[in-house]
A = this chain, B = another copy of it.
């Protein structure tokens, strides 16, 4: 009897131990998964390399799109993915892949970056770009530049060839020229489509009697790329023409490290697109990384939480692309559509609209 009772006690005690152990583990389940990758597929390397791209989020609706234009977008996204994939497959760096892919998108008038950038209130093009390297957290960014053919190369030069991280305006242009980047006449960035958008918005302003950027997509349009190379290095980059009719040398989130762009080999790489002011105030790109690192949640959870909960509740529209060190990919957006795509050694995807 006494023995039985003791036995009983021992059992109760063991069960109690297991219960407490289990409940303790349960408060931070992801941490344990992280330490033991075998328990979750998403915590294992999925692919040798990965590349994810976006060409802007906004009111992109099937009914407003011609088949021809849709095919143009798809073909350009496909071309961009292939260029990046070839670099990564051949063992190239994620930095090379990101810069090369963004250049292709900047050179296309389809996207609001480089050739195709929207016009400011003064009828000029003022572009922003940034890039960040996840292995050493080095970064480069430029804001409000008008005569460098590929703004992303200016951001890369700030990262690689200067002691600074962020330069703007004439100074950034002088630096870019001093390191031999290709300069162009600012007229190079003229496209009829974007010029007409500005005229339309200026007319609306005249009738309203006040400054507005309140036309579909006048706030949006950015290109961004995140890549994971075979060595496990993550790089993220973003380039934009900003907001149609922008005034006062406004800077959006794209050149702001932590807002529009962030990369850290231990967590993820992120490039954002959307209503830039919200992305700055919520430090969106860094927030994804911070939630993964400190809360121990997955890339998917973290990126959806910020885009579909925090930003959505605050009224901030847009989206982001991101990948983690395992090659998991996330592309959430709270707008009707986002030009997007990704490629890994196993999969290839291109999308425009939401569900």
The majority secondary structure among interface residues of chain A is helix
In the complex, chain B residues whose CB is within 8 Å of the CB of A167? 248-251
* Cβ-based interface call for A290 (8 A): yes
Q: Are B17 and A6 in contact (CB under 8 A)?
A: no
Contact among B28, B172, B283 for A257, CB-based, below 8 A: B283
Known A-B contacts A17-B20, A164-B277; A294 and B290 likewise in contact (beta carbons under 8 Å)? yes
Complex-state Cα separation, A162 to B247, whole angstroms: 10
Selected interface stretch from A7-15, A38-46, A101-109, A189-197: A7-15
* Cβ-based interface call for A66 (8 A): no
Smallest CB separation, A141 vs chain B (Å): 8
Determine how many copies of this chain the complex contains. 2
Q: Are B280 and A166 in contact (CB under 8 A)?
A: yes
Complex-state Cα separation, A138 to B314, whole angstroms: 11
In the complex, chain B residues whose CB is within 8 Å of the CB of A174? 248
In the complex, chain B residues whose CB is within 8 Å of the CB of A155? none
Quick one: which of A241-277 are within 8 Å of B by CB?
Answer: 247-252, 256-259, 262, 276-277
Known A-B contacts A139-B281, A280-B258; A166 and B251 likewise in contact (beta carbons under 8 Å)? yes
Smallest CB separation, A120 vs chain B (Å): 9
Q: How many residues of A contact B (CB 8 A)?
A: 62
Quick one: which of A123-176 are within 8 Å of B by CB?
Answer: 132, 137-139, 143-144, 162-172, 174-175
* Cβ-based interface call for A188 (8 A): no
* Cβ-based interface call for A207 (8 A): no
Smallest CB separation, A205 vs chain B (Å): 13
In the complex, chain B residues whose CB is within 8 Å of the CB of A250? 164, 166-167, 171
In the complex, chain B residues whose CB is within 8 Å of the CB of A132? 281
* Cβ-based interface call for A90 (8 A): no
Q: Are A280 and B139 in contact (CB under 8 A)?
A: yes
Quick one: which of A1-40 are within 8 Å of B by CB?
Answer: 2-3, 6-7, 9-10, 13-14, 16-17, 20-21, 24-25, 27-28, 31
Complex-state Cα separation, A132 to B281, whole angstroms: 9
* Cβ-based interface call for A87 (8 A): no
Smallest CB separation, A132 vs chain B (Å): 8
0/1 per residue, A280-299, Cβ < 8 Å to B?
11110011001101110000
Q: Are A290 and B281 in contact (CB under 8 A)?
A: no
Chain A interface (Cβ < 8 Å from any Cβ of B): 2-3, 6-7, 9-10, 13-14, 16-17, 20-21, 24-25, 27-28, 31, 132, 137-139, 143-144, 162-172, 174-175, 213, 247-252, 256-259, 262, 276-277, 280-283, 286-287, 290-291, 293-295, 314
Beyond A2-B3, A6-B6, A286-B287: 13 further Cβ-contacts under 8 Å? A3-B6, A9-B10, A20-B20, A20-B24, A163-B277, A165-B277, A167-B250, A168-B168, A168-B169, A256-B258, A257-B280, A258-B259, A283-B283
Which 3 A-B pairs have CB atoms at the shortest separation, nearest pair first?
Answer: A171-B249, A24-B24, A294-B294
20 contacts between A and B (CB under 8 A): A6-B6, A16-B17, A132-B281, A139-B280, A143-B168, A164-B248, A164-B277, A165-B280, A165-B281, A166-B252, A167-B251, A171-B247, A171-B248, A171-B249, A258-B286, A262-B283, A286-B287, A286-B290, A290-B291, A295-B295
